[in-house]
Structure 1
Amino acid sequence: MENFPKKELMKVIQSGFDGSRSAFALAVGRFATKLKDVDLAFAKEIAQFLSVDNVMRGAGDFAPTPVDVDSRMELVETIFPVIVPKRPVFGGTVQDVLDDVLREWQSLDLLIKEGLAPARTLLFCGKPGVGKTLAAHWLAQELKLPLLTLNLATVMSSYLGKTGNNVRAVFDHAMTRPCVLLLDEFDAIAKRRDDDSDVGELKRLVNVLLQALDEWPANALLIAATNHGELLDPAVWRRFDHVVQFEPPSAQLIDDYLLDIPMTSEVRKNLASFLQGESFSTIGQLIHASRKAALLDNTQLVPTLIKNAVRTRMSKGAMSKPNEGTMLLMHLSGKSLREIATAVGKTHPTVSRVIKRYLGE
């Protein structure tokens, strides 16, 4: 008995009393791994109880949603099942991390039996509209788990101590079943504790958050998203398994994103290059608005999309050659090459080349 893994057995007993299904499964997995050196047959017998079905039992089955005591408004929004109509396109590094996370969760059975946990906490950083929220939805869809999104407006309370209580209530609720919990605008609740603009309340809130992150179970995925990583408390960063930096999409990624819209490869390539600098959120909104306009006006989608793209870029002063935008808009409104050339002070062949480059005409 001197080689018997007593310490691991004690952890199994303790986690059993704690009441977390995933923590108990991990403890049993670690115990079985240690036991292999002493009694391989018994270790295998114990490992039979460690299955994905047991660890993930109850996904989609939630207790009543927690509410703010004063406003009675719900603290989280729940979506199940999560459906992302179109597979998102991410840059190489981001996609690699997301694929690794999915691979770990798809191998949960193997990991649990060895006393290991999949990635449980992810921090998404980047400017608005670069795909952080979309990535969270996509992971929830692929994992077939409910997506819980923190309702920041409701969670934040003007009453001393209430915000921390609300955050704790959200975590307690999310920990009851397997799920994906999205903490959007994470910097609002995880701000640096040396911020002079806030005294004791901020420190209490971050302490609540750190404790909740430490207790996060292995059968749920927590995703925090922020546009301002520099505002986060240093202690928060260490609580995440992966920190993922999202960047505005490159022309190649935008080209891939446009693949399901019928157009020639040359037109798509030029449109993607033209839209570089815009977020996927903006591009998605352009496509959605263009589909509706093309349907209502009984026109073709691609010219409508290009017209809307030109208007968007011109409104931001983001075109290196604004004359080209003017040429396209005049052409799409029915002006002749002669009228366009005269208006912009260019030759007919120049106008024709610009139109052909963007519209393939």
Structure 2
Amino acid sequence: MENFPRKELVKVVQSGMTGSRSAFALAVGRFATKLKDLDLQLAQEIAQFLSTENVMRGAGDFVPAPVDADSRMELVETVFPVVVPKKPVFNEAVQGVLEDVLREWRSLDLLIQEGLAPARMLLFCGQPGVGKTLAAYWLAQELKLPLLTLNLATVMSSYLGKTGNNVRAVFDHAVSRPCVLLLDEFDAIAKRRDDDSDVGELKRLVNVLLQALDDWPANSLLIAATNHGELLDPAVWRRFDHVIQFEPPSADLIEDYLSDIPMDSEVRQNMAALLQGESFSTIGQLMHASRKIALLEKSDLVPTLVKGAVRLRMSKGAMSKPHEGEMLLMYLAGQSRREIAATLGKTHPTVSRVIKRYLGE
């Protein structure tokens, strides 16, 4: 047969003998797609075996995590099932890409049958605390896959060649069944190979990493996160399906983040403006601490949160109007509006407006 897809059939055999379950499924899908013009019925009979259930089989299976040969510490940390207690808040651009990735994974049957793969590798860039790790957890939760996180402190070794061996062991473990693999602080193992201080070990490590990325299966998702994208080797960037830049949250996003705390909309809006410049991580810690304080002191949550936010921003010199912070702290300490006005040399109505803006009183 002149148009018989010989090349695709060879790939099917090669993947079946040497590749992963997902690589074999992709090769079969490509073969079936090419075969449609010659024998539609046969192509459909072959494609019926390509299903999400078959490709993702083994997602809940666990095998012992690899360990460092010297310390005997585990090289990866595993979480399953993954539960994110609060839905993350991302800006429109980030949310759009993450939703696109999830849509591809939820249409895995359709993609595999056409010999296509969903997005397999994502690179998250941005400052600490802006939601990169949280996004990885959220994707793992939505995909109902175990989350494996590389333990960088254990993986990195002072012994020549050991770090590369550890990285290879992590990948060998991760590809053994469907999962989400998070490589946090990715720049530590994917640093540019033109570093003058390097004695060859870095080059070997990056080469190991590049090969592992090239072999990453289509039934797992790899997420690399870095605070220093400029340090990554140029060859690494080309391996990723999406590079997502996470930015510090805007006031609007912070307002959404505070939406589960009962407070007046105007108070929430002013709180969000006060906290603009802080990361989601810092704001989350502030909310957590405020809830505990309010519970132990049997006080209302909103004033406790305002007090913590004001102290945080004033400690950084980040309040545009420090005297408003002083007013709020004095009022929350029990001083009257008139006492505050007299102490700070402000009018009583001015003090009242500030208190109302942040506390709704």
TM-score over 0.5 (shorter chain): yes
Take 1:18 and 1:343, find their aligned partners in 2: how far apart are those partners?
A: 79
Take 1:184 and 1:343, find their aligned partners in 2: how far apart are those partners?
A: 50
Query: Any residues of structure 2 matched to 1:107-118 within 5 Å, and which?
Result: 107-118=107-118
Query: Any residues of structure 2 matched to 1:225-304 within 5 Å, and which?
Result: 225-304=225-304
Aligned to 1:71: 71
Aligned to 1:357: 357
CA contact (8 A) 1:62 1:176 kept: no
Q: Which amino acid aligns with 1:312?
A: L
Take 2:343 and 2:192, find their aligned partners in 1: how far apart are those partners?
A: 55
Aligned to 1:90: 90
How far 1:19 moved relative to its partner?
Answer: 3.6
CA contact (8 A) 1:121 1:221 kept: yes
Q: Which amino acid aligns with 1:185?
A: E
Q: Which amino acid aligns with 2:25?
A: A
**SS state of the match for residue 291, structure 2?**
helix
**SS state of the match for residue 149, structure 1?**
strand
Take 1:343 and 1:169, find their aligned partners in 2: how far apart are those partners?
A: 65
Residues 315-353 of structure 1 show CA distances to partners (whole Å, capped at 9, x for unaligned) of: 111111111111000000100112211222211111111
Could you tell which deviates more after superposition, 5-14 or 338-347? Answer: 338-347
> Is residue 29 of structure 2 the alignment partner of residue 55 of structure 1?
no
Take 1:283 and 1:344, find their aligned partners in 2: how far apart are those partners?
A: 29
Take 2:32 and 2:283, find their aligned partners in 1: how far apart are those partners?
A: 51
Cα RMSD for the two superposed structures: 0.6
Take 1:312 and 1:189, find their aligned partners in 2: how far apart are those partners?
A: 34
**SS state of the match for residue 119, structure 1?**
coil
> Is residue 192 of structure 2 the alignment partner of residue 192 of structure 1?
yes
Take 1:198 and 1:282, find their aligned partners in 2: how far apart are those partners?
A: 35
Q: Unaligned regions of 5+ residues in structure 2, if any? A: none
How far 1:185 moved relative to its partner?
Answer: 0.3
Residues 292-326 of structure 1 show CA distances to partners (whole Å, capped at 9, x for unaligned) of: 00000000000000000001101111111111111
Q: Which amino acid aligns with 2:269?
A: K
Sequence identity, in percent? Answer: 84
Take 1:233 and 1:170, find their aligned partners in 2: how far apart are those partners?
A: 20
Aligned to 1:8: 8
Take 1:24 and 1:119, find their aligned partners in 2: how far apart are those partners?
A: 17
Aligned to 1:81: 81
Aligned pairs, number? 361
> Is residue 310 of structure 2 the alignment partner of residue 310 of structure 1?
yes
How far 1:239 moved relative to its partner?
Answer: 0.5
**SS state of the match for residue 253, structure 2?**
helix
Take 1:344 and 1:97, find their aligned partners in 2: how far apart are those partners?
A: 50
Take 2:199 and 2:123, find their aligned partners in 1: how far apart are those partners?
A: 26
TM-score by length of 1: 0.99
User: After the TM superposition, which segments of 4 or more aligned residues of structure 1 sit over 6 Å from their partners?
Assistant: none
Query: Any residues of structure 2 matched to 1:129-278 within 5 Å, and which?
Result: 129-278=129-278
Q: Which amino acid aligns with 1:127?
A: Q
Residues 201-245 of structure 1 show CA distances to partners (whole Å, capped at 9, x for unaligned) of: 000000000000000000000000000000000000000000000
Take 1:264 and 1:110, find their aligned partners in 2: how far apart are those partners?
A: 47
